[in-house]
Amino acid sequence: MASIGRQFRDLINAPEILIQPGIYDGYTARLVEHSGFKAASISGAGVSESRMGWADRGVMTFDENLNNARRLADCTDLLLRADADTGYGNAMTVHFVVRAFEKAGMAALMFEDQVWPKRCGHMAGKSCIPAGEMVQKVKAAVDARRDHDFVIVSRTDAAGPHGVDEAIRRLNLYAEAGADVMYADALMSKEDIAKVAKGVPKPLIVNMGLGMRTRKTTPLMSPKELQDMGVAGVSYPRLLSTAALKGMMNAMAVFKEEVVTHNRVVDRPDLLASFDELNDLMGMQELDELEKKFAT
């Protein structure tokens, strides 16, 4: 059987666009797999927010990110693309970051060319390191991988602070340095997306900001529209994290109003997953089978 890197590589190079919902914990990983998707992106923002309780501003450390990725790989067969932020240092550091995430069960790993501490791609105030410095990080990443098919994704955040032409220039440099897949973040028009897709020599991933309606963000487009533009992959990093938070906000509002304020106990199946739904999703059947198989 082909390695997970080869499987991811085949999907991102296929004619059909690769849809990658953003995951960040066991619930989201199992739900995406249960929904029939083959691949997912681990949202660095989702991990920082759900596990650390802080916005995506460089608070999460390398170990915290890596350990979370390893746990996700352990509970799902999804082909996972991890988010290694800026590589947590220089090109030498990137060598060890790649080795660690590959060993943790990732199929692909993404680095970005922001300065540290980084910011979520759609936050104001982003700055980028010199392109030559990122080129050395890419070379270190390519050199470090043990499986040649492990996918190195190079992301640029240059479109916002420096313009789309600079983003394209950088992505071409990163491709020349050996990156397998390009990622252009925070492109603000359909024309920009089409221009980048046409201007880079390797598969391009863009993200769609479902759950970011109140901010200036990338225009929402269907996967088919993006595919027709030449985009190879699309990520939805905020879909599940914002949906989960909204669901919890709704449930908490009802709880405070009915139970705390009015001392009424109400059951709201429309707001809450059932116990059976939860257990089915979280692998209870597999655990039962293991227990039965090895029972004394």
pTM of the model: 0.94
Q: Does the structure show a pLDDT above 80 at 7?
A: yes
What mean pLDDT do residues 258-284 have? 94
Our measurement of the distance from residue 172's CA atom to the centroid of its chain's CA atoms, rounded to an integer in Å, reads 22
- Per cent of the chain over pLDDT 90 is 88
Residue 215 is predicted with a pLDDT of 58
Tokens in use for 246? 């909204």
What mean pLDDT do residues 132-147 have? 98
Phi, psi (degrees; rounded to nearest 5) at 181: -135, 140
Residue 214 is predicted with a pLDDT of 52
Which domains, ranges and CATH numbers included, belong to the chain?
Answer: 4-237 (3.20.20.60), 245-293 (no CATH)
| DSSP sequence for 22-34 | EE-SHHHHHHHHH
* Cis? peptide before 161, omega within 30° of 0: no
| DSSP sequence for the chain | ---HHHHHHHHHTSSS-EEEEEE-SHHHHHHHHHTT-SEEEE-HHHHIIIIISS-SSS-S-HHHHHHHHHHHHHH--SEEEEE-TT-SSSHHHHHHHHHHHHHTT-SEEEEE-BPSSP--TTSTT--B--HHHHHHHHHHHHHH-SSTTSEEEEEE-THHHH-HHHHHHHHHHHHHTT-SEEEE----SHHHHHHHHHH-SS-EEEE--TT-TTS--PPP--HHHHHHHT--EEEETTHHHHHHHHHHHHHHHHIIIIIIIT------TTTS--HHHHHHHTTHHHHHHHHHHT--
Model confidence over 46-104: pLDDT tens digits?
999 999 999 989 899 999 999 999 999 999 999 999 999 999 999 999 999 999 999 99
Model confidence over 102-132: pLDDT tens digits?
999 999 999 999 998 887 767 777 899 999 9
